[in-house]
Amino acid sequence: MTTVNCKQQAVQRLTDSLNINIEINGAWCPPNREPIEFLTEKEHELKASFIEPYKVKIIPDRSTCKLGDWEERPYEMFVLAKLKNKNGYDALFMNTETGLFSLGWINEDGRAGIIGYASDSALAEWVD
């Protein structure tokens, strides 16, 4: 785990993560899809969703804490990618304390949250 202090470090961590061989990155694939094809599509989607990183504070709720190694306290996260959905955005976050990626959301009103899982693989988190 790596502390990430600035935008440049966050972008480098993201780039390094996406350089992991797509066949061994641990990303989920639907059973009716060819894994390499599906993950390649999702990698392109993630890259197309990159934004200029910015920091947010997220306080995981109890359900989030059950899915990962979280406490109910503020965490500083970089937002690295956003994809519009009907309620706001799906978002890829990076925990500045650990350098781990998490999938979450940003509502129309700007509130952010995470699902709870975290890993070294940006693609695995984006897919899940």
The reply to whether 2 falls in a domain is: no
Q: Domain of 20? A: 7-127
The reply to whether 1 falls in a domain is: no
The reply to whether 63 falls in a domain is: yes
Q: What is the pLDDT of residue 71?
A: 86
The reply to whether 48 falls in a domain is: yes
On whether the CB atoms of residues 121 and 21 are closer than 8 A, the answer is no
The reply to whether 114 falls in a domain is: yes
Q: What is the pLDDT of residue 106?
A: 96
**How far apart, in whole angstroms, are the C-alpha atoms of residue 62 and residue 66?**
6
- pLDDT tens for the chain, 128 residues long, are 678 878 899 999 999 998 887 777 678 888 999 988 999 999 999 999 999 999 999 988 888 877 778 888 999 999 999 999 999 999 999 999 999 999 999 999 989 999 888 999 999 999 97
Give me the number of domains the chain comprises: 1
pTM of the full predicted structure? Answer: 0.91
The reply to whether 104 falls in a domain is: yes
Q: What is the pLDDT of residue 101?
A: 94
